[in-house]
Structure 1
Amino acid sequence: MIIISSSETTRRRALGRFCGAAALLAGLVATGVAAPAGTATAAAPDPTGPRAATSQTRTENGRLPVKAIEKILQADGHVSKSGVLEVDIDRTDIHVIGGNPPVRFKDGFQIQHELFFQSLGHGKAILNGDLALRPQEIQPVIDSFIAHGLTFQAQHQHLYDLRPMVWFLHFRAIGNPLRLAGAARAAIAKTSTPLPQHSPPHPTTPLPVRKLERILGGDATVGENGIVTVTVQRTDRIRLGGVVVDPDLGVSTSIQFQPLRKGRAAVVPDFSMTAKETQPVITVMRRHRWEVGCLYNQETDEHPQLYFSHMYRVGDPVTLARQIREGLDRTAAKRA
């Protein structure tokens, strides 16, 4: 007869929990499929090495497991100054022409999945995102949202004259960041999105990046094909699903510039507005002859409720940036 002390029993139980969590993480990383809703997803070591696990699988003190999330999603991300991780995944398999005058949208311009992760501490994060879809992909993706515990928030077009037309489905969730990444990856697997994807190591652009930043009052990044994205944060307090979210969690105004010949650019601002801000912004932009795209909500259970509208124009990027700033001045956006 073998007698096991209470301390030994505790040690063995802890070891069992550790091994179970490690196996779950390994499965997420290997397959990209999320654990079923309600499955425990306690932080476990990254399979790539025990030393990396300490900083990469916890959200304590505002840290996100960036490398592990990127590995599950098979795409590179960008961490904002406030610590929000954004992962953009291009629909390089969809070749779109749109706008007036019409422009061929290059990879990295508008037609992409966008995923935002914000640490909530204590092993939890909030995910807010949207997927760019062909019509035949919509219902399978909705089913995947439901199967993996993601909250389906919105379905709409962004611009009305794309050829072929692309639809955008917005979703959110709160939980273990690796499980959230696995759930998002499972939804993306219902599409024909080419993976893996990697950001260009040293992207360049002919556009005046710093001048655009100064005019707009936001932070700029340069991506593939010289495309510049400027995000201008909202300054009010936004709650999403009962959680106060960072302005970088996809709830602020984002502006994209695609370089064209002769110093011009195709420009699409995606304005973030409250109900009271919507009419003043649209009035200003139509005065400058911007094409106004769809007006919609993209989040549910959001306070205050935000409305979004993509707009389109081709011209001198600096002039267009100044016009966009006029629109931003009608909102609670950060001042230039």
Structure 2
Amino acid sequence: MRESRTHTQQQGVDRPGSLARQSDERGSIRIQRETISAIAVYLACIVALLLSKFINPEFGSLHQLQTILMLASFLIVCSFGQGLTILIGGLDLSVPSLITLGGVLTASWMGGASPDAGAGWQIPVILAVCACTGAFNGVGIIFFKVPPFIMTLASGIVVYSLCLGATGGNPSGASPHALSVLMSGRLGGMPIITLFTIAFCVLAVVIQGKTTFGRSLYAIGSNPVAAHIAGIRVGRLTILTYVASATFAGFVGMMLVGYSNGATLRMGEFYLLPSIAAVVIGGSSILGGRGAFLGTLGGAILLTILDMIITSLGLEQGWRTMIEGALILAAVVLQHEKALDAVRTALRKKRNAQ
């Protein structure tokens, strides 16, 4: 009896330490996995740039790199919002419609009568309209238990139909001066959009990886029940996540208006698959709970480089969609647990050796 009691007490002492070691091991594996994914995607970007020089000698120059970053800026911004929803195990299929909504409202309201009109209060109001759609998605998912796929698809269809009905299929207006400066202006010899993209990326890394909000999203994506027991307000944060995704998508619509000096009803449809592909290629799990924005950034840049190569070759849009779909499939397969056994084994051997 005494030996049994002693054995039980020993188990009680050892178990917390064992659980802590298991938790540390899982965290180490997650960080290792994200690091490997980020390195791989940036190496792929370098290889794509080197190969592209055989197609166009201008590829790889400073001007070309600035062009790549400018074109990637749209995908970077909307992929950040999409990545937050994927991080909690969701998905936002309303991104294209919200991009269109932001663009149509910007062109018709801010640029319709006077493209040089002030944008101090109109931009926040337009973003608030987009945010309300995101809140609607979040409420439907949390309180009415509608699957994210269905909820965001349905709201996207409604938003697009409203844009179609309000514009008669032909949006009018031009870019306001503030957005034109953002997309084409220069500051100290550097394009303003390049400086903006760099600042946005730094802010996104901090928000997703260093704040309580970001760490809570990882917990929700890993196990929402455990996150709720731990005191995380799962419902509120889920709604905020979809609000953020909708807001960033609406801002991308504004950026596109500033870039093209107008809006179309199809301006957002090219960003649904790429926004998901950039997140998944960057190492995020489509099931949630794992990923880093630096990987998403690399995925967005890689897709932009491939898009420019396809354009230089004169290939049609179908090739772009096929390549993006193939990259998503490859990334999901590589993320499978069996494909990562080698990483786990290497980590265990290294830890045992130490």
User: Does TM, scored on the shorter chain, surpass 0.5?
Assistant: no
TM-score computed with the length of structure 2 as normaliser: 0.23
Greater C-alpha radius of gyration: 2
Structure with greater proportional helix content: 2
TM-score computed with the length of structure 1 as normaliser: 0.24
